[in-house]
A and B are shown apart, each in its own frame.
Chain A
Amino acid sequence: MTRRLEEPDYRRRLLHEMVRIRRFEEKCAELYSATKIRGFLHLYIGEEAGAVGIMQALQPEDAVVATYREHGHALARGISARALMAEMFGKVEGCCRGRGGSMHIFDAATRFYGGNAIVGGGLPLAAGLALADKMEGRDRVTACFFGEGAIAEGEFHESMNLAALWQLPVLFCCENNLYAMGTALRRSESETNLAVKAAAYDVPSWAVDGMDVAAVVEAAERAATAVRAGGGPYFLECRTYRFRAHSMYDPELYRAKQEVEEWKKRDPIATWMATLEAAGEIDAATLQRMDADVAAEIDDAIAFAEAGTLEPVADLERFVFSERGSE
């Protein structure tokens, strides 16, 4: 167990981060229903331990490549709730001026290289980011998140192979929530033990309980340390589950309610809260304060987004080509 994980303050911070993501996204669902947010909205609820846990192992100079279910990663990486909410409102104050929306969150300041809405599309990008770091001799890690659905894509296999062949510093984080949209893992893969696939490319791999934030932190720190030490890529599988539908307009015909209820018993927030409570590290007052802080932050983000401005239509054709030099 890493030293930090023994510090109550740090353990409370992990809880706070997960609660923050959960509440933010619950609000997103509400705002979506009220048509404030449009397009596709994919919620991460149930999977928060993954993003929060893995970000613990990253440094500010590291890079993150994420998927279209990336609000949790964006918040955990340090993109402000304001910039994120304004983006979803399609406002120019959003982190991508409202050009990207929920599925395409980018942020140069935190080296967040996107939400990518093509399953598997981010993996080659991550290999390239890592290639540049390696060629330039920079001590950096690129964390690349993807779901288990991406494993069926050729880009997963191409990327694993290239990263291993060239020993690129990529931390591949597979968030296995068992369903690629509505297709269960067992219905799409002949081999459902994902670690075996990574091993076939000679990439060290580790499967971790993605509902246990402490376990994820530990595994991520071990993996990141190995990558940083020049050991090439690492494959980390977070076994997790999304509690909500794939997107807002999904009647969930493909899975049983009973199954969802079973997994909810392992809710990463509830279980971590129980752990801290048992250790006497939180009490009702702490939780109340935490709830109030989170609520205030989210209310502020919504007010910010509401008050935001729409980019003038005259700017439509900006950002097709760069407006500055390449330096």
Chain B
Amino acid sequence: MAEFLMPSLGADMTEGTVTRWLVQPGDHVDRGDIVVEVETDKADMEVEIFEAGTIEQLLVPQGEKVPVGTPLAIVATAAAPAARVALPETSGPAPPLAEAPKPAAPSPAAPRPRATPTARIRARELGVDLAAVHGTGVAGAITRQDVEHAALRRAPEPAPRAEGRRLLVSPRARLLAGERGIDLATVTGSGPGGSITAGDVERVAAPTAVAAPSLPSGPAVEVPSGRPRAAGRGPIAALMERSNREIPHYYLGIEVDMSRALDWLKAENRKRPVPDRILASALLLKATALAAHEVPEVNGYFIDGGFQPSATVNLGVAISLRQGGLVAPAILDASAMPLGELMRRLQDLVARARAGRLRASEMSSGTITVTNLGEQGVDFVYGVIYPPQVALVGFGKVTERPWAEAGMLGVRPVITASLAADHRASDGHRGGQFLATVAKLLQEPEHL
């Protein structure tokens, strides 16, 4: 007993019309016999059968168009006598159940578009009219992606140009002006086309002694100046409030066996002079950076209603300050950095953060942030994303836990890695892949 399916004769064939049956129920067929003529967009094809036996039933009448993989006929094969229930015995794609034989061509005025359940939910969420969506799924069904594409297509028009002449400012000059709090309208341009250059900004800024960062786009985290103060919470509080208000967070966690990583680290550090030794947190950072490189949906910015992935991984590192407060300066291009170098940057960053000597560019360039609360005894971190970033990775403390692997139970040092991510930029599936990648990378510490 076998089903004879509408074949796919090329990647560009998704459906075919049965134009003529060359066999009837009761006819004997041999492997390789031409049994039906099928019309496709490209050609009229004779279609052969790969089973020998007796045609039991024709399922699709002449003139009907059906997708590739649809059962066209039931064949009682020589081996098994015919049974009434068709089981998919062939290795072909499982025929969609909803595609069971239909007596006639689909009615032209279908009242309800064919759509997957998740597509319907998503359409309601996004306010998309399913009737206007083109389906790309099985049998033309509308999928969740189709709905999302449709929603994207009617995305808001770009904002109209501001009135009057736009100020010509070089990207570097704009950056400098932002860092130094200079109103560009007060600067006279001397560059090409009268544009404002970095030099023009510097001339205006010259009187100001200390760079006081006020970053409009980056995380507005304050860089503490020399004098200790209880601040740090003020700007952070505002930022976190904004984050929780604007960003649809979702959370995932994964337990990671750290035995390989810690063993390797121990051996590696034995080879290194004391100042060059590496801390476990550097391993965690490197694994995070590499994973973020692999799963770009967690690495970048959500700006102007859209996610912009970043080509490099600038790893924000949450550092608590002795005087209170928290900063998250970034290690630039961390995924490309050898581990030793990453360790040096981390030490340098911590030292400078605590001395209040961070550079403004370090404060605004993070594309994803890591917070390691293991030292505080925390097990699981429910992080709050630094806007406009789209993900925050948390690590808890390393604890010894019973751990089963390959049927054996043992005690292993285990850490919980958690992900707080922006649902507009990634979904749980990708987020899960990201965490799994972190875990996997930590099993091969020698490659970090």
Residues on A facing B (Cβ under 8 Å): 26, 29-36, 38-39, 247-251, 302, 306, 314
Q: Is the CB of A34 within 8 A of B93?
A: yes
Q: Is the CB of B11 within 8 A of A34?
A: no
Q: Is the CB of A249 within 8 A of B92?
A: no
Beta-carbon nearest neighbor of B69 in chain A: A35
Q: Is the CB of A39 within 8 A of B8?
A: no
Q: List, sorted by A's number, 6 A–B pairs whose CB atoms are closer than 8 Å.
A: A32-B9, A33-B7, A34-B8, A34-B90, A35-B69, A250-B43
**Is B226 an interface residue, CB under 8 A from the partner?**
no
Q: Is the CB of B10 within 8 A of A249?
A: yes
The verdict on A35 contacting B93 (CB below 8 Å), with A249-B9, A314-B294 known, is: yes
Q: Which residues of B contact A314 (CB under 8 A)?
A: 294
Beta-carbon nearest neighbor of A45 in chain B: B32
Q: Give the shortest distance, in Å, between B35 (CB) and chain A (any CB).
A: 12
Q: Give the shortest distance, in Å, between A243 (CB) and chain B (any CB).
A: 10
**Is B208 an interface residue, CB under 8 A from the partner?**
no
A-contacting residues, B52-91, CB 8 Å = 68-69, 90-91
Q: Give the shortest distance, in Å, between A307 (CB) and chain B (any CB).
A: 13
The verdict on A36 contacting B9 (CB below 8 Å), with A249-B43, A249-B45, A251-B45 known, is: no
List the 5 closest A-B pairs by CB distance, nearest first: A33-B7, A34-B92, A249-B10, A30-B50, A251-B43
Q: Which residues of A contact B11 (CB under 8 A)?
A: 38-39
Beta-carbon nearest neighbor of B437 in chain A: A314
CA distance A36 to B31 in the complex (A): 19
CA distance A26 to B8 in the complex (A): 15
Q: Give the shortest distance, in Å, between A86 (CB) and chain B (any CB).
A: 15
CA distance A189 to B13 in the complex (A): 33
A-contacting residues, B174-203, CB 8 Å = none
**Is B276 an interface residue, CB under 8 A from the partner?**
no
Q: Is the CB of B50 within 8 A of A249?
A: no
The verdict on A31 contacting B43 (CB below 8 Å), with A26-B32, A248-B9, A314-B294 known, is: no
Contact residue among B10, B90, B92, B294 (Cβ-Cβ distance under 8 Å from A248): B10
**Is B44 an interface residue, CB under 8 A from the partner?**
yes
CA distance A39 to B31 in the complex (A): 23
Q: Which residues of A contact B31 (CB under 8 A)?
A: 26
Q: Which residues of A contact B13 (CB under 8 A)?
A: 249
CA distance A188 to B12 in the complex (A): 29
Q: Which residues of B contact A248 (CB under 8 A)?
A: 9-10
A-contacting residues, B155-180, CB 8 Å = none
Q: Mark B39-55, 1 if CB is under 8 A from A, else 0.
A: 00011111110100000
CA distance A204 to B321 in the complex (A): 87
A-contacting residues, B1-17, CB 8 Å = 5, 7-13
Q: Is the CB of B91 within 8 A of A34?
A: yes
Q: Which residues of A contact B294 (CB under 8 A)?
A: 314
Q: Which residues of B contact A36 (CB under 8 A)?
A: 91-92
Contact residue among B44, B50, B68 (Cβ-Cβ distance under 8 Å from A35): B68
Q: Give the shortest distance, in Å, between B313 (CB) and chain A (any CB).
A: 15
Beta-carbon nearest neighbor of B93 in chain A: A35
Beta-carbon nearest neighbor of B13 in chain A: A249
Q: Which residues of A contact B43 (CB under 8 A)?
A: 249-251
Q: Is the CB of A31 within 8 A of B91?
A: yes
Q: Which residues of A contact B45 (CB under 8 A)?
A: 249, 251
A-contacting residues, B88-125, CB 8 Å = 90-93
13 further contact pairs, Cβ within 8 A, besides A26-B32, A34-B8: A29-B48, A31-B91, A33-B7, A33-B50, A35-B8, A36-B91, A36-B92, A247-B10, A249-B9, A249-B42, A249-B45, A302-B91, A306-B91
CA distance A247 to B91 in the complex (A): 21
Beta-carbon nearest neighbor of A253 in chain B: B43
CA distance A250 to B45 in the complex (A): 7
CA distance A36 to B68 in the complex (A): 13
Q: Which residues of B contact A32 (CB under 8 A)?
A: 7-9
CA distance A36 to B8 in the complex (A): 10
Q: Which residues of B contact A33 (CB under 8 A)?
A: 5, 7-9, 47, 50, 92
Q: Give the shortest distance, in Å, between B430 (CB) and chain A (any CB).
A: 13
CA distance A33 to B43 in the complex (A): 16
Most buried by B among A26, A33, A250, A302: A33
Q: Give the shortest distance, in Å, between B382 (CB) and chain A (any CB).
A: 30
Q: Is the CB of A34 within 8 A of B9?
A: no
CA distance A250 to B91 in the complex (A): 24
Q: Is the CB of A34 within 8 A of B7?
A: yes
Q: Give the shortest distance, in Å, between B174 (CB) and chain A (any CB).
A: 35
